[in-house]
Structure 1
């Protein structure tokens, strides 16, 4: 049996205005969150990473990321999907390799999470997402805010980043809806999950700055 060769990977990190590029550039424990997020990609993608950033923040992001990636400007009026599409279009001019889609608000992704996503892409899956179990009690409420039922959380999952896509699949999904994973489900596309990690969760900055700094400091 012939062993499947690993695909050449690309990555896109959108930074539209709605994703708050200013906060992405603020140092937390000595390093901006966007740089930390790019570090998780650079280990497996190396030179084919594109940050699609709203034009007013292009210079600031370029100064921060250095040689980690290519920074391309996008229309400030564009949303997350438009920025992602711009990054994908830039990469498509070179090749149609599988793509890791990342979010700077998930700056502490451990290497093994990214590795698991890449492994499933290598196996030929077209949509791959890291997930963690929902551990909090979940309740359904009525219009007045009164609890009316307990939701079974055994099948619920939190979806994290980076998310993996076949390039052509991602391009198609971006034409279908704002959320490529939801669009994949609506289109009947198989969405494969891999184990995520508690550290790979989303941080809202600047509100979570102290928490994020404490986590980073505790791991040194």
Structure 2
């Protein structure tokens, strides 16, 4: 089994796109067909409102602000394809395809719709709506430098316990070797295509599929503003960050 190789410093939350070479060699896949049950009843999660606009609009706007991004493909709920296309048309040129029941199927559908050209493919959660364009560039640059798979990470700051039957504590996990994984995750296009073709069991992230191939996964510093909006508290926190101009 291969393990990710991680660097320790944390990326500063600033837009650094103007300092980077605008190559336009990146395609970004956005799986956005999930229901978002933990966020409470309502529309699919990517279409929930943050500051008066859907999470998906915020996410795509920030992706499009990264100079390296050539193509964005969104996998949306099949029943909302027309609505999502109309929603995103004023934001950026985006291809919208029907997503699947599971995230993995949505990513595969979006990957199949990427046109010829981009050889760097990023996969990004619509729920990480406030991800800085600079983080997109950082991941893309790491793939461009020669890595097959790259993930942004943050150190785990809480104490982690392993729990057994009856909620009994079995031990304390050494958090120095643990990282919380974010998106966008970046890949050589051929590596991601092979990983999805070989997938047998659904996993929560695409780096997990690549790890199963034995391909090394490299870590770069993540961003605290790339939080995943999963619960009502996360949405409230994102509202606060947005009000602060993040």
Give the TM-score band, short-chain normalised: 0.7 to 0.9
Structure 1 partner of 2:173 = 151
Structure 2 partner of 1:87 = 110
Judge conservation of contact 1:12–1:84 (CA < 8 Å) in 2: yes
Q: Which has the higher helix share?
A: 1
Deviation at 1:102, TM superposition (A): 0.7
CA–CA distance in structure 1, aligned partners of residues 23 and 143 of structure 2: 9
CA–CA distance in structure 2, aligned partners of residues 117 and 207 of structure 1: 28
Deviation at 1:140, TM superposition (A): 1.1
Structure 2 partner of 1:110 = 132
How many residues of Structure 1 are paired with residues of Structure 2 in the alignment?
A: 215
The counterpart of 1:131, out of the listed 131, 149, 153, is 153
Deviations 1:138-169 (A, max 9, x none): 01122110112111000100000111111111
Bigger RCO (CA 8 Å, 6+ sep): 2
Judge conservation of contact 2:123–2:183 (CA < 8 Å) in 1: yes
Taking structure 2 as the reference length, the TM-score comes to 0.78
Structure 2 partner of 1:64 = 87
Q: Secondary structure at the match of 2:76?
A: strand
Q: Secondary structure at the match of 2:153?
A: strand
More deviation, 21-30/97-106: 21-30
Q: Tell me whether 1:15 sits opposite 2:32 in the alignment.
A: yes
Judge conservation of contact 2:32–2:75 (CA < 8 Å) in 1: yes
Q: Unaligned regions of 5+ residues in structure 2, if any?
A: 1-21, 38-42
Deviation at 1:47, TM superposition (A): 4.5
Structure 1 partner of 2:234 = 208
CA–CA distance in structure 2, aligned partners of residues 7 and 127 of structure 1: 19
Taking structure 1 as the reference length, the TM-score comes to 0.87
Deviation at 1:48, TM superposition (A): 1.1
Judge conservation of contact 1:25–1:60 (CA < 8 Å) in 2: no
